[in-house]
Amino acid sequence: MRRALAFLLLALPLACGPAASPQSSSRSPAAAKWTDRAKASYRAGDFEDARDAVAHALAVAPTDAEIRELSARIALVRLDFAEVLRVTDGLESTAVHALRGRALWFSGDIEHAADELEALLTDPTVKDPWAREVASLARRGSGRHPFEMEGALVGAVEMPRAIERVPLGAADVVPCELDGERILALVATGSSEVLVDSNSRKDPAWVNLRFDHLEVKDVPALTEDLSAISHQLGVPIKALIGSQFLRHAHVTFDRRGDQFVVRRQDAPAPPDGSRVPLYYLRGGGMLLRATITARDDDPIALFVDSSRPFPLLLQDAAWKKAGVDVGSLTPLPDAPGVKHGMVPIFRVGGFDLAKMPAIAGADLGELSTVTDIDLAGIIGADLLSFFRVTFEDEGRFVWIEPDPTLLGAQTAQSGGPPAPLASPVPPPAVAPAPASSSGKR
C-alpha cells in the first residue's frame, strides 16, 4: 500500500506551505502577524483559529497571493469548498490548480475538477498519479451525479466478526454488492476514495454499491492492490470504503453492534451522542482533535484510519505531553522497536477514555515527512470500536455514542467533568500495519 500514500502526498504540492509571494517582503506588520498566526495554528491542527487568523490577514491584505493560497488550504481541510474557489479566483499557479481541483472534485463538480487537474498536470515538475487518474475518471463522468441513491431510504447490513472461523477483531468489514457482485469491503477513514482491488479491476471506474435495499450509484473508484490487507485480515477484501463515500452516504458504522448503515439524508441527533468536528488532510483522509492532558484547551491533531489494527499510535512528543516516559513502556513481542503502554487521559468529544492502550516506536512514516500538519499520532480501529460513529453535515462532524457497557455509573452526573469510560481493549498483540497502508487519500 506504499504506492497509495503517494497519491495523497503528490495530489497537493503544499507540504511545506505555499511559496512566499513577492508581496510578503512588503507585507504590513499587521498582515504579517496574522499570517504567521494562521500558519502556526494550521500546523498545530487548530483549524478554527487558523481560519479566523487568515480572515484577519486577508482583511488587511486582500490581494496577497500567499495569504489567499493559505486561506484556501485551510478551507480545504474544513471542507469549505466554496471558500477555496472564492479566495483563489483569478490566481494561476500549480498549488492553486491543485487546491481548486480537489475542492471541485470533492464537491461533485467533476467537469471543472478535470479542467483544474489537467492544468496541474501541465507543470513538468508535477508527478501526480491521483490527479491523472481522477482527471481521466472525471472526463468519463460527464452527465453523472456522484453518490446518487436509489431504492430504500435506509440500507443496513450486518458487519461480521468472523468469517469461516477467521476472527476480524475491530476491523469494520462490510458485506455489500459492487456492480452486482457480492464482496467484502473495509471501512477506511484514512482514504478519500473508494478503492477497488486492482487484482480484479485494472482501471478506475464509476461503480455502483448496494447495501441491503439501498444502492449508491455513480461512485468514483480508483484501483489499488488490496492483497496485503486481505492477507492481514484473512478474508478477501475487494474494496476500501473511503471518507468521500462515508460523508455522502451519511454512514453509521458500529463495531460493537456489528452494523453498517447507509442513508439518503442525515440521521437525527442521538440523545446520548457527542458532536466531534472532523477535518480532512488535503480534503481526503480524516483528522480530529483529542485531549491527552488535564487541560481541555491543549488538544492534539490525530489522523483517523479505521484500517489500522491498533487503538492508538502516539509520537514520542505526544507521550511526553501526556506525562508518560517513553522509556517506561513495554516492548511488544514480535515487533522490534514497538512498545505499548497506557495514556492516563484520552478525551474525545464529551467522553473520557480511562487508561487508553497505545503504542509507540512505530512512527508515522511518510505521513510525518510530507504533511504540513504536525500530527501527534493515529487513531486506529480498536479505539473507534468503542463508539457508534455517524457522519453528519457531509462529514464536517460525527456523532459518537459509546458502547453502553463502557459507561460508568457516574456518566449521568451533572456539573462536573465527563465520567471516564472503561477501556477494555488489550495491548496490541502484533506490530501495526505500515504507515503507508491507508489508501489513496
Q: What is the largest CA-CA distance in the chain?
A: 67
The reported pTM is 0.89
Burial label for 259, CB within 10 Å (0-12, 13-18, 19+), is: middle
3-state secondary structure of 389: strand
In this structure, what is the dihedral angle of CA atoms 80, 269, 297, 394, given to the nearest 10 degrees? -20
3: confidence class by pLDDT, cuts 50, 70, 90:
very low
Higher pLDDT, 95 or 350: 95
Beta-strand runs (E) in 305-383 = 312-314, 330-331, 339-348, 351-360, 377-379
CB 141 within 8 A of CB 217: no
> Quick check: 13 pLDDT over 60?
no
Tell me: pLDDT of 279 over 80.
yes
Between residues 411 and 197, the one the model is more confident about: 197
Separation in Å, CA 34 to CA 54, 60, 114, 243, 371: 6, 9, 34, 32, 22
Half-sphere exposure of 409 (CA within 13 A, CB side): 0
User: What does the alpha-carbon distance between residue 345 and residue 293 come to, in Å, rounded to a whole number?
Assistant: 6
Q: Provide the b/e sequence for 222-233 (b: ≥16 CB within 10 Å).
A: bbbebeebbeeb
How far apart are the C-alpha atoms of 320 and 62, rounded to whole Å? 41
Q: Which of 351, 353, 346, 159 lies closest to 256 in space, CA to CA?
A: 159
CA atoms within 13 A on the CB side of 221: 27
Read off the pLDDT band of 102 (50, 70, 90): very high
Cβ atoms of 382 and 356 closer than 8 Å: no
Burial of 354 (0-12, 13-18, 19+ CB in 10 A): middle
Q: Give the pLDDT confidence score for residue 370 in this predicted structure.
A: 63
Looking at the predicted structure, is the pLDDT value of residue 327 above 80?
A: yes
What local confidence, expressed as pLDDT, does residue 337 receive?
86
**129 Cβ contact partners less than 8 Å away, ≥ 6 residues apart:** 3, 6, 7, 10
d(CA 103, CA 99): 6
Q: Nearest Cα to 290, choosing from 247, 243, 350?
A: 350
Range from 148-157, 164-173, 355-364 that averages highest in pLDDT: 148-157
Q: How far is CA 162 from CA 143, 278, 339, in A?
A: 41, 30, 28
According to the model, what pLDDT value does residue 353 have?
Answer: 86
| Grid coordinates given for 321 | 505531553
| Confidence at residue 371, expressed as pLDDT on a 0 to 100 scale | 80
| Mean of per-residue pLDDT scores for the chain | 87
How far is residue 143 from each of residues 108, 134, 206, 311, measured CA to CA in Å?
Answer: 11, 16, 12, 42
Alpha helices in 78-145 (DSSP H): 81-87, 94-107, 110-121, 129-139
Give the pLDDT band (50/70/90) at residue 6.
Answer: very low
Residue 437: pLDDT band by 50, 70, 90 thresholds?
Answer: very low
Q: Percentage of residues in the chain with pLDDT exceeding 90?
A: 72
Q: How far apart are CA 133 and CA 131, in angstroms?
A: 6
Closest CA to 83 of 117, 47, 29: 47
6-35 burial, b for 16+ CB within 10 Å, e for fewer? bbbbbbbbbeeebeebeebeebeeebbebb
Which are the contacts of 257, defined by CB distance < 8 A and separation ≥ 6? 388
Per residue in 389-424, pLDDT tens? 999 999 999 999 987 766 553 343 334 444 555 554
Length, in residues, of the chain: 441
What domains appear along the chain, each with residue ranges and CATH number? 2-139 (1.25.40.10), 148-263 (2.40.70.10), 274-421 (2.40.70.10)
